[in-house]
């Protein structure tokens, strides 16, 4: 913390960002760091940039309207001397143009909770036992200070609830999460149901995506731990923004990813471009370590939640790509 605060104190211009296609924890953790910097280092020029398009569901979060939505953070980093990254620990998670960002030109700070390879940051807090980046930011930057107020407590609470599936996925190693959530509820004076209704209700695009994913559920029984998978057709690449697609997919996974009979783990495939399929994996405790599987697909994450990518061959549709993914999973020697 001393190192982080020293970097921020000497900064003249600060950029805060999070990973590509940001989920609620990415949004909320970056908003949390942005609020901390505005309050603690008001003399620095501080901006927040995120990838993609604004999601209306989160528009009531404090400082949400300050977010500048862009295609890639590489477009703007050279306008700043200090970079703050949340909810990811390798530069490739934040940009599609990794080669165009020379981290040695900046002072860099990273806050993350994933077991992934790290880039060469100047200062990093990486605690993989914690279920969300928002929780780490509350614990170190706001807890017990006069900086925490009801509206920023709501932001951080939303990030924690998102990455824990409304507290359903808190592991024994992270029981302190319940203490933090209790404190944030008291500060924000909000019921958990209010948070759920405000930020995690189903939109029309969510319903469409969930309907298609439900229709395309496929069971795989000839594997040591039976699993299911589903996919969105290629035409969904142009039907919704990648952020909206990810939002709908995540809500589907909250309901179905590990709760269909004997099928306690799964993957969802969604087109990320004409040539790349995104893979999102979920598992139940003690079943399959999907972090190890995600790493075999060029990604990573947590033991119970991870992701990766798979190339789309010429003329292949989503169903055919999924068969290739299943074939590769069956051939892995983890």
* 22 and 160 fall within a common domain: yes
Residue 10: per-residue pLDDT: 98
Structure tokens at 82: 């200090």
Task: Give the span between the Cα atoms of 75 and 62, in whole angstroms.
Answer: 25
The per-residue pLDDT for range 181-197, each reduced to its tens digit, is 999 999 999 999 999 88
Residue at a domain's end among 199, 216, 237: 199
* 111 and 187 fall within a common domain: yes
* 118 and 57 fall within a common domain: yes
- Burial zone of 289 (CB within 10 Å; 0-12 exposed, 13-18 middle, 19+ buried): middle
Mean pLDDT of 171-178: 94
Residue at a domain's end among 165, 199, 233: 199
* 152 and 117 fall within a common domain: yes
Residue 264: per-residue pLDDT: 96
* 172 and 212 fall within a common domain: no
* 217 and 270 fall within a common domain: yes
Count of domains for the chain:
2
Residue 187: per-residue pLDDT: 98
Residue 119: per-residue pLDDT: 97
The one-character DSSP state at 19 is -
CA dihedral over 243, 127, 138, 282, signed as positive or negative: positive
Residue at a domain's end among 199, 231, 250: 199
* 45 and 169 fall within a common domain: yes
pLDDT beyond 90 at 21: yes
Contact 230, 210 (CB under 8 A): no
Residue 277: per-residue pLDDT: 98
124: left (phi over 0), alpha (psi -120 to 50) or beta: beta
* 195 and 71 fall within a common domain: yes
Task: Give the span between the Cα atoms of 327 and 11, in whole angstroms.
Answer: 50
**CATH number where 211 lies:** 3.10.310.30
pLDDT beyond 90 at 199: no
The per-residue pLDDT for range 64-121, each reduced to its tens digit, is 999 999 999 999 999 999 999 999 999 999 999 999 999 999 999 999 999 888 999 9
Average pLDDT, the chain: 96
pLDDT beyond 90 at 20: yes
**CATH number where 78 lies:** 3.90.1640.10
* 150 and 195 fall within a common domain: yes
pLDDT beyond 90 at 36: yes
Residue 255: per-residue pLDDT: 86
Q: How many CA atoms lie within 13 A of 137 on its CB side?
A: 34
* 187 and 244 fall within a common domain: no
Beta partners for 300?
307
* 218 and 98 fall within a common domain: no
* 209 and 95 fall within a common domain: no
Q: What are phi and psi of 111, to 5 degrees?
A: -125, 120
Task: Give the span between the Cα atoms of 194 and 191, in whole angstroms.
Answer: 5
Which runs of E-coded beta strand occur in 174-226? 218-220
The one-character DSSP state at 206 is H
| Enclosing domain of residue 311 | 204-331
């Amino acid at each position: 913390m001393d190192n982080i605060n020293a970097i921020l104190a000497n900064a003249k211009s600060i950029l805060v960002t999070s990973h590509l296609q940001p989920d609620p924890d990415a949004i909320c953790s970056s908003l949390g760091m942005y609020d901390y910097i505005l309050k603690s280092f008001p003399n620095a020029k501080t901006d927040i940039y995120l990838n993609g398009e604004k999601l209306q569901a989160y528009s009531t979060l404090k400082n949400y309207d300050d977010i500048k939505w862009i295609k890639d953070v590489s477009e703007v980093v050279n306008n700043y001397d200090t970079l703050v990254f949340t909810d990811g620990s390798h530069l490739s998670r934040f940009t599609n143009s990794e080669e165009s960002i020379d981290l040695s030109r900046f002072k860099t700070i990273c806050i993350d909770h994933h077991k992934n390879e790290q880039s060469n940051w100047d200062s990093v807090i990486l605690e993989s036992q914690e279920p969300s980046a928002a929780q780490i930011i509350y614990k170190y930057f706001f807890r017990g200070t006069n900086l925490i107020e009801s509206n920023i407590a709501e932001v951080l609470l939303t990030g924690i609830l998102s990455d824990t599936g409304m507290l359903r996925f808190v592991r024994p190693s992270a029981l302190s999460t319940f203490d933090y959530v209790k404190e944030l509820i008291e500060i924000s004076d909000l019921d958990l149901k209010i948070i759920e209704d405000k930020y995690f209700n189903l939109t029309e695009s969510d319903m469409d995506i969930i309907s298609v994913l439900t229709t395309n559920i496929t069971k795989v029984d000839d594997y040591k731990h039976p699993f299911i998978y589903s996919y969105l057709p290629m035409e969904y690449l142009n039907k919704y923004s990648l952020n909206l697609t990810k939002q709908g997919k995540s809500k589907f996974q909250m309901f179905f990813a590990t709760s269909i009979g004997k099928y306690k783990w799964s993957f969802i495939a969604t087109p990320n471009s004409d040539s790349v399929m995104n893979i999102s994996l979920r598992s139940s405790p003690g079943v399959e370590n999907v972090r190890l599987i995600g790493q075999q697909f060029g990604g990573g994450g947590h033991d119970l939640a991870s992701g990766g990518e798979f190339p789309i061959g010429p003329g292949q549709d989503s169903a055919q790509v999924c068969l290739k993914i299943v074939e590769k999973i069956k051939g892995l020697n983890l």
